[in-house]
Structure formats: C-alpha cells, structure tokens
Amino acid sequence: MRLLLVEDDALLGEGLLDGLTEAGFLVDWLRDGQSAITALQTQHSFDLMVLDIGLPVLDGLAVLRWLRGQKITLPVLLLTARDAIDDRVAGLNAGADDYLIKPFALTELVARLRVLLRRQQGEPSHQLRWRDFELDVVHQSVAQQGKNLALSAIEFRLLHILLANRPNHLSRTQLEEKLYGWQVEIESNALDVHLSHLRKKLGADSIINTRNLGWRIGDDA
Ligand code: CA
C-alpha cells in the first residue's frame, strides 16, 4: 500500500520511513505542505497519508483543507504536538480520519493505519480471500488451502494491489506507481516479469489482461 508521509522533522521522518517500510508500506516522504499538494495533484495512487500539522511553507491543516476541498477521500492520519488541542479539533473538523500525539509508538501508528485502510476498503479483517488463497496483510504472507505460498516481496505487493482493487482494472502506470513509488528507475519490462511469475504461481487465469484497460485479478470462482 502506497503511503504519503509529510513530516519536516528529519529524525522523525527517517524513523517513520524505515519503520513504515518495514511494516510493508511503500512510503514517499515529503517535507513541506506545498510539495504534498503538488504530489497529490499529480499522483493518484496513494492509499494513505500521514500528515504532520506543523510544516514549513504550508501547514498540515491547509493541506488537509485543500484535499477535502478537492473531494479526495484519501484516509489521513494527522501527527500533532501534545499541547495543541485546538489543532486536533481543527484537524478532525477539516476531515482528518485519525490523529496521533507526538511522541508515539510506531506499532500504534501502524495499527491505526491498518484500521484506516480496512475502513476504506470495506474489508472486515486483515485477510483478503480470493479463490482458495488467503493473503495476510499483517504477516505479509499468502497461503493456498492453508499452505504457505512462496512469493517475493514485490509479487506479494502486486497481488495485494490487484486484490485490494478488485474487480477493477489497473493500468500499467497505476500498477507501477503503486508498486514502486518514485524512488527507483523501473526497467521497462519489470512489471511484465512480475506479472508472469505471479501468474505461474496462482494459475493461468489468475490475472486478466484487457487491451486498453490493463490488469485485474480473475473472478473469484
Ligand atoms: Ca513539524
């Protein structure tokens, strides 16, 4: 799941980048509010945002008001200072889905982000079921009829993205944005290679490619 982190504190930002990446999120980290708005205008593949309120150039509340003004329903968790009760109230009024007071434990942040994702996706639990497969978001594992299936990290992410977006198609650009974020140069055929590997492991009709639309996960039965 692709997460936009907006935090100007270098130490906290580094820690969150590492911790959230470890927890299985694909994290893009920006340090001011204006960059966040620019990113949200050009990238539509974020699944979550962690937004600090005290930011340079444009603060977190301004970003949040802009976001909701655009009718973008991206789940947002605000980071606020301990003594800033007014900020929290203003944040919730402006359309934040949750907030955490600094300092906080990474485990709590991850747990709350997963709740927001589930709410957004309407999933009752952290497990996604499809055919006789079960994908576990927390443990980042996939089982077929209870037996663990060996997937690479990127194959797992690809399957997670396809399942989370079913029954919709995703274009090549959408898939690549969700898979890789901005950090890496992607080899032009990398996505096709991962799709092909995944198809071998899940079955020939598991991933459907439709001309001009892109890819979607196969029907459930
Ligand atoms: Ca700050």
Question: Quick one: pLDDT at residue 125?
Answer: 58
Q: CA separation (Å) from 25 to 12, 60, 153, 179, 190?
A: 17, 21, 11, 10, 20
Q: Which strands make up the sheet holding 76-80, listed edge to edge?
A: 26-30, 2-6, 48-52, 76-80, 98-101
Question: How many angstroms separate the CA atoms of 85 and 66, rounded?
Answer: 21
| Among 20, 27, 32, 61, residue whose Cα is nearest residue 46 | 27
* Consecutive H or E run containing 107: helix 106-121
Q: What is the Rg, in whole angstroms, of the alpha carbon atoms belonging to the chain?
A: 18
Question: What is the whole-number distance in angstroms between the Cα of residue 116 and the centre of ligand 1?
Answer: 22
Question: What is the whole-number distance in angstroms between the Cα of residue 16 and the centre of ligand 1?
Answer: 13
Question: Quick one: pLDDT at residue 156?
Answer: 94
Question: What is the whole-number distance in angstroms between the Cα of residue 71 and the centre of ligand 1?
Answer: 25
Question: What is the whole-number distance in angstroms between the Cα of residue 65 and the centre of ligand 1?
Answer: 17
Cβ neighbours of 29 (radius 10 Å): 18
- Tell me the pLDDT of the chain (221 aa) as tens digits: 899 999 999 999 999 999 999 998 999 999 999 999 999 999 888 999 999 999 999 999 999 999 999 988 899 999 998 777 888 889 988 999 999 999 999 999 999 999 898 887 765 557 888 999 999 887 889 999 999 999 998 999 999 999 988 889 999 988 988 888 765 677 778 899 999 999 999 999 999 999 999 999 999 87
Supply the DSSP string of 125-147, one letter for each residue: SSEEEETTEEEETTTTEEEETTE
Q: Please give the backbone phi and psi of residue 82, each rounded to the nearest 5 degrees, phi first.
A: -55, -40
Question: What is the whole-number distance in angstroms between the Cα of residue 48 and the centre of ligand 1?
Answer: 19
Question: What is the whole-number distance in angstroms between the Cα of residue 11 and the centre of ligand 1?
Answer: 11
* Long-range contacts of residues 189-193, Cβ cutoff 8 Å, at least 24 apart: none
Question: How many angstroms separate the CA atoms of 14 and 56, rounded?
Answer: 17
Question: How many angstroms separate the CA atoms of 41 and 82, rounded?
Answer: 31
